Amino acid sequence: MATEVQARVADIAASAGGVFGVAARSLHTGEEILINADEPFNAASVIKVAIMVEVFRQAEEGLLDLETRVRLADTDKVGGSGILQVLSSGIELPVIDLVRLMIVVSDNTASNLLINIVGADRVNETMRDLGFPGIVLRRKFMTVPVAKPVPNSITPRDMTGLLEKIARCQVVSAWACGEMVRIMKQQQYNDLIPALLPVPGDEDELLAGEMPRVEVAHKTGSVSRVRHDAGIVYVPGCDYVVTILTKDLPHPRDGEDAIRRISLEIYRHFAGA
């Protein structure tokens, strides 16, 4: 029963300290697991999913071309996660590769370049139009000094709702949703939601023609005392969406371990494993 798994999830969260927010929903039955689902959290890099949605929306409307090349300048480079900050100035990358860098390796420089292109206000307008006012992009990543001290924010319920719309091809277009899922499946930070699930790793060998038991399209995020992961979990006949957010973690490693254990509990519940 959902009440039982929700109690187990709450116990795991309590053992790590801090504040946890969880929103998981079966894409087949609509059953939900909710803890602090409407609580706002510092979005960290999870909000990059919303930026990606806006890029594809503007491309679909002909406002930008995904193949347009963007020149990298020294002044564009910021710290934190990503690779562009150490590459040569003057290189040019197509918009679609900036999206891939933003999601797959959480590149902050790529993210800021995309915000320059699509506009933060347009990201927020699109999130409101989709019914997710709790997803708010207020500032760029790793800028010094910080122009706006209030962080970007998301809620577990709204983030899970956005991922559900992507999974159901209800954002922008079916093609755009397919591309966004493809990019999120290429995520290179897989130590949270997927870590304890039966997801094939580099060391695993599938038989010819065999499909993986579980695939995860997701986006992680972290800042001081904050660890997040949110994604679409594909299990044959038991697909679901899940967002696990944290704040005020006394020991972030304990928070990471709790996210992994919560993810496994949710998987076992929805997949009947």
Q: Quick check: 52 and 103 in contact, CB under 8 A? A: yes
pLDDT at 241 over 70: yes
User: pLDDT band at 199, cuts 50/70/90?
Assistant: confident
User: pLDDT band at 98, cuts 50/70/90?
Assistant: very high
Percent of the chain with pLDDT over 90: 89
Query: CA 32 to CA 108: how far, in whole Å?
Result: 32
Q: Whose structure tokens read 């023609």?
A: 209
Here the tokens at position 95 are 């918009």
Domain limits of the chain?
2-200+213-271
CATH of segment(s) 2-200+213-271:
3.40.710.10
Percent of the chain with pLDDT over 70: 95
pLDDT at 213 over 90: no
User: pLDDT band at 148, cuts 50/70/90?
Assistant: low
Q: Which of 3-7, 26-30, 247-251 has the lowest mean pLDDT?
A: 3-7
State the distance between the two ends of the chain, measured CA to CA, in whole angstroms: 14
**pTM of the predicted model as reported, rounded to 2 decimal places:** 0.95
Query: CA 12 to CA 108: how far, in whole Å?
Result: 31
Q: Quick check: 197 and 263 in contact, CB under 8 A? A: yes
